[in-house]
């Protein structure tokens, strides 16, 4: 029987990267993408998920479950805590894209630097790592790094080069005082080729999440 997953996405920014990872790591698994970019716009405009965002996400997750998929992947860190509210109402397993990354971060080091370019991602990402640390029974110290205006430069001006330079600079800064660096948004995975010279481990969520799905569905 063919296995299948659904990915609920608040933007198409990392759509191609996720499709590529699924093709590489989940051969034979049917991948369905549900994308509504109004979600992240509403989250950013209101400083967090609204009642409307919660209602639409619940509808998307229920639709995904009705398709009979084996697992639902939530792509966006900014709405990750909404997933915690939805999970009890579903029978289909749900994975937040950054959960495997959070677990790996607390396994890797005590001092963790979190890099984000969207303010609404910072809180959920930090709280997820704190939860992973509690579950692992370890103590961590988390340092937040918000690269202000980088996302605006990328989206509104289309200046990927400047965006990448800004984020890279913050990663290098964070690497001086931390054991491991976490890229809070999945879309930042495209930066990894530019961070190979960073002395500390740099974690990005998409590959780790898809590898985890592979272990669940294909092992």
User: What architecture (CATH level 2) is domain 4-98+207-217?
Assistant: 3-Layer(aba) Sandwich (3.40)
Q: How far apart are CA 118 and CA 146, in angstroms?
A: 7
Tell me, yes or no, if the two domains 4-98+207-217 and 99-204 fold the same way: yes
Q: How far apart are CA 137 and CA 152, in angstroms?
A: 38
Q: With 0.85 as the threshold, say if the pTM is over it.
A: yes
Q: How far apart are CA 188 and CA 122, in angstroms?
A: 14
User: In the 8-state DSSP scheme, what is residue 40?
Assistant: H
What residues does each domain of the chain span? 4-98+207-217, 99-204
**pLDDT of 111-128, one tens digit each?**
999 999 989 999 999 999
For residue 17, the surrounding DSSP H or E stretch is helix 15-25
Could you write out the DSSP letters of every residue in 53-103? Answer: HHHHHHHHHHHHHHTT-SEEEE--GGGHHHHHHHGGG-SS-EEETTHHHHH
Q: CA-based diameter of the chain, in Å?
A: 49
Which top CATH class is 99-204? alpha beta
**pLDDT of 155-208, one tens digit each?**
778 788 888 899 999 999 999 999 999 999 888 888 899 999 999 999 999 999
8 A C-beta contact, residue 10 and residue 79: yes
C-alpha distance from residue 187 to each of 10, 15, 164 (Å): 11, 9, 12
**pLDDT of 72-104, one tens digit each?**
999 999 999 999 999 999 999 999 999 999 999
């Amino acid at each position: 029987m063919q296995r299948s997953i659904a990915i609920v996405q608040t933007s198409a920014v990392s759509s191609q990267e996720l499709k590529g990872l699924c093709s590489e790591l989940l051969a034979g698994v049917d991948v369905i993408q549900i994308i509504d970019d109004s979600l992240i716009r509403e989250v950013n405009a209101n400083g967090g998920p609204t009642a409307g965002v919660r209602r639409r996400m619940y509808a998307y997750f229920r639709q995904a479950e009705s398709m009979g998929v084996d697992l639902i992947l939530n792509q966006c860190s900014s709405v990750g805590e909404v997933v915690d509210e939805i999970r009890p109402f579903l029978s289909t397993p749900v994975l937040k894209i950054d959960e495997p990354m959070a677990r790996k971060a607390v396994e890797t080091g005590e001092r963790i630097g979190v890099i984000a370019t969207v303010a609404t991602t910072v809180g959920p990402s930090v709280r997820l790592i704190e939860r992973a640390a509690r579950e692992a029974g370890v103590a961590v110290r988390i340092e937040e790094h918000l690269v202000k205006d980088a996302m605006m430069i990328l989206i509104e001006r289309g200046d990927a080069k400047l965006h990448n330079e800004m984020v890279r600079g913050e990663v290098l800064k964070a690497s001086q005082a931390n054991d491991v660096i976490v890229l809070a948004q999945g879309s930042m995975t495209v930066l990894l080729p530019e961070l190979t010279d960073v002395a500390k481990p740099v974690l990005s969520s998409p590959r780790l999440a898809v590898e985890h799905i592979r272990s669940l569905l294909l092992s």
